[in-house]
Amino acid sequence: MDQEKMYGVVDGGYLCRNEGHDYINDGFYRRNIPDKKLENQFSFRPVPTKYVKYPALHVRHTNNISEERQFYEVSDNFNPGNDKGPYSGYIKNVDLENNLRNTYFGLQKCNQSVYVPKSNSDLYVDTVKANNEISNSQMQHGLLFQSQDFKPFNPDKHSRSIEIFNNHTRNQRSLK
């Protein structure tokens, strides 16, 4: 029996290709791939001894020889994981973390107890490249730097609002 086509119902499906969506999806996909190969994470688990005959013999399988990889550097390599990066990246930056948390010196009231960055740190040195010599003909918004002079305006002609806050107009409206 032939199925009758219903009026207004699409027979099949539409495929819509949109370059903007593809570009965004490619960006999402690239966030799941690291820049370089990360170090392998090995988890050391205990050896089962219950319900095993001769547990000392061949319980642990030998590891495959893996390729040697570089130490993980946070500034050079992107880790797409959300929990833990390779251990070498953590252990390499322990001194930096201790310095930032200021855990070298105990709690005391001397100058050593406060972390002050060096004077050539990027916290102090601000480099902004600006070109302040722009002619008026090159400016797209000519009214941007034009100063305006306004005549003084006082909305409270009768000086009823005496205080800065807590001005109760119900009480002060009869004052003149």
**Domain ranges, ordered by start, for the chain:** 12-59+67-120
* pLDDT score of 36: 84
pLDDT score for 155? 79
Question: What per-residue confidence (pLDDT) applies to 57?
Answer: 65
Instruction: Please give the pLDDT value at position 176.
Output: 56
pLDDT reported for residue 98: 84
Mean pLDDT per 10-residue run, the chain (176 residues)? 72 80 90 84 72 68 73 82 78 84 76 77 77 72 82 79 73 64
Q: What is the pLDDT of residue 1?
A: 47
CA distance 168 to 162: 10
DSSP letter string over 109-151?
SSGGGS----TTSTTT-----------TTT-S-TTTT------
C-alpha 55/C-alpha 49 separation (Å) is 6
User: So what's the pLDDT on residue 156?
Assistant: 76
Q: What is the pLDDT of residue 111?
A: 74
Would you state the pLDDT for residue 97?
83
Q: In which region does residue 159 sit, left (phi positive, over 0), alpha (psi from -120 to 50) or beta (all else)? A: left
